[in-house]
Structure 1
Amino acid sequence: MRLDPDELAAAGPFSKAERAAVYRAIETRRDVRGEFLPQRVPDAAIARLLEAAHHAPSVGLMQPWNFIVIRDLDRRRAIRDIVMRRNDEAAAMFEDERAAAYQRLKLEGIVEAPLNICVTCDRGRGGKVVLGRTHQRDTDLLSTACAVQNLFLAARAEGIGVGWVSIFEPDDLRPVLGLPDAVVPVAYLCVGYVAELFRRPELEARKWSKRLDLESLVFAEGWGSAWAFPEVG
């Protein structure tokens, strides 16, 4: 296949200010649960978030995602009720003090947020054989997760908070959202403006967990051999 030269553009780093903005969005992104403001998110802002999500990388350019924008309060209440039932099941999986700590956590803002977005993956998109998916079937799900991350980062740049709700079985949402058989929900997102964000991830601030040391997670050439991090000066 011949490539049109006009398809290529010069590569190079962003400016210092542009790089700083990208890293700031990454480092200050937070999963929002209880800090939503009632202010409506304009359709133009939603469109920008979805455009950013749609520019995510996808294996074989399969673009398996769809986005369901949900404002209707009754529909959100129905989904909140599903999550609450599943949350009770999840709480029973923890023991003693951990169970009590789990019950104190707020893990969703489905009704408090003025907007929900369900990001789905069409597992049949692209047909039976998709470039890059021939040996790793779940690359469609992984590609959809990349779209979710893009949406998170774009939202941070817009001053919009996003909370990822995952306490449900995928089939739980099927009747509420009318999902076809081949389509699975990958992320259910609560979206809205926020006045404040946690300086650290909320679960770290609330002593549930903490960020792992990066140096312990990076190996050189193979598993278990530590990579030598450069001196920061």
Structure 2
Amino acid sequence: MTPPVFDDAFRARFETLLRWRRDVRRFRTEPLAEGLLDRLLLLADLAPSVGNSQPWRFVTIDDPARRAAVIANFERANAEALGDYAGERAALYARLKLSGLREAPVHLAVFADLHPDQGAGLGRRTMPETIEHSATTAVHTLWLAARAHGVGLGWVSILDPATINADLDCPADWHLIAYLCLGYPVEEHEDAELARLGWQARSPLSARLFRR
């Protein structure tokens, strides 16, 4: 098979995709187009993984009772997190919309199977955490694929992961990597909401690049 050629036009479009990828919190409630979620998950499944282990485990949550348990989990954790701030930071934190759990039509939990049979342990002897890293690449791949299809994705990290496995009836040795909301966004911006609201602006690459 002849390999594809990624020309300047494609590279420019890809850069645009990266710049317009956002962590979405405000969703329209309408469902995704028929078959689109399955298409996005097939694309996410193309992500690289250590030893070709493909340790990610995708769990869709449709049951109202399970969704309610996750929302309650978030609300408890969010209230506790507010206590870590004081003054203007606390006031700003209280105004932030940090999840789209009630509006998003799709709830998706992404786990890493810490002991997958696939891959036979290749590449994990000295760095077993590459299992979790691999599952995270699947999340990022899904994020870009979703944005390319006009779908917003929000990563809900303010959760107590200890109860999620039980709430979703998942094996205890699956490690929660991400709880995601997906749906069509209410609005789209090139800049991140946290930057717009004054929580944290992006810093230049030079602050994170070291040469040896």
TM value normalised by structure 1: 0.85
Q: Please list the CA deviations of residues 17-74 of structure 1 after superposition, one character each: whole Å capped at 9, or x if unmatched.
A: 322222221110000112x111111341101110111110101111101111123333
Give the alignment partner of residue 26 of structure 1, picking from 18, 42, 52: 18
Cα distance in 2 for residues equivalent to 1:10 and 1:218? 36
Q: Identity of aligned pairs, percent?
A: 39
8 Å Cα contact 2:44/2:139 also seen in 1 = yes
Secondary structure at 1:215 match in 2? helix
Following TM superposition, by how much is the alpha carbon of 1:109 offset from its aligned partner in structure 2, in angstroms?
Answer: 0.7
Equivalent of residue 8 in structure 2, options 1, 5, 16: 16
- The RMSD of aligned alpha carbons is 1.7
Report which of the two structures shows the higher radius of gyration computed on alpha carbons: 1
Residue from 26, 32, 39 that aligns with 1:41: 32
Q: Name the amino acid aligned to 1:125.
A: P
Checking the alignment, whether the CA contact within 8 Å between 2:53 and 2:118 is kept in structure 1 is no
- SS of the residue aligned with 1:163? strand
**Residue aligned with 2:35, SS:** helix
> Which structure 2 residues correspond to residues 107-118 of structure 1 after superposition, within 5 A?
107-118=98-109
- In 1: Cα distance, 2:161 partner to 2:120 partner: 24
Residue 121 of structure 1 and its aligned partner are, at CA, apart by: 0.6
- The partner residue of 2:151 within 130, 138, 160 is 160
Unaligned stretches of 5+ in structure 2?
none
Q: Distance in 1 between matches of 2:34 and 2:125?
A: 38
Relative to the length of structure 2, the TM-score reads 0.93
Q: State the shift of 1:124 in Å.
A: 1.0
Contact 1:59–1:140 (Cα < 8 Å) also in 2: yes
Figure out how many residues of one structure are paired with residues of the other and give that number: 212
CA distance in 1, matches of 2:39, 2:96: 31
Contact 1:77 1:110 in 2 (8 A): no
In the alignment, the residues of structure 1 paired with residue 173 and residue 33 of structure 2 have an alpha-carbon distance, to the nearest angstrom, of: 31
| 1:179 maps to 2:159 | no
Who is 2:58 aligned against?
Answer: 67
